Structure 1
């Protein structure tokens, strides 16, 4: 997003490495600017569309992430929800409600 010094892909790769994941196992998709683009570009990195895919995102965003994943061609995306700070959740949840309504209007 605006004002961020590194891509989300880079930040998450650093997080995974710090958690002990071998760098050779990490593939970064670093050209997307939103969730749907991320899933479309990531889909090109996966050879078999039937490969199980986990959608890791905040608890308020994982539903929309899975819907986008299906739209991008993933057969059965599995939601993996991460929590967010309880004081921030109401704001993010309300914002996400509007995004989901927009998603439904587009019929994803």
Structure 2
């Protein structure tokens, strides 16, 4: 029963993650349309980034706290997801530059 419970949790977490990917794809498409005058940016075409903070917040709302096993699971890795450190943004010396953030990346 525990194995089935963990499997169901992983499938639910994957559903949440895929919904966040879809949302970010829509935002990316909208911003691409608005910046059409700047020309295409091929570097953005093969990946979507999801805030790990946002994903974990949604999981916590459902009572799921420890996601370490999900990040190691086949369902996460075999569907093209990985975790990366995102370089800090903002001016040198600003609070945002002092801390990096982790993101989930979906490779296409």
TM-score (normalised: structure 1): 0.26
TM-score (normalised: structure 2): 0.26
Whichever structure has more strand as a proportion of its residues is 2
Larger CA Rg, structure 1 vs 2: 2
Bigger relative contact order, structure 1 or 2 (CA pairs below 8 A, ≥6 apart): 2
Whichever structure has more helix as a proportion of its residues is 2
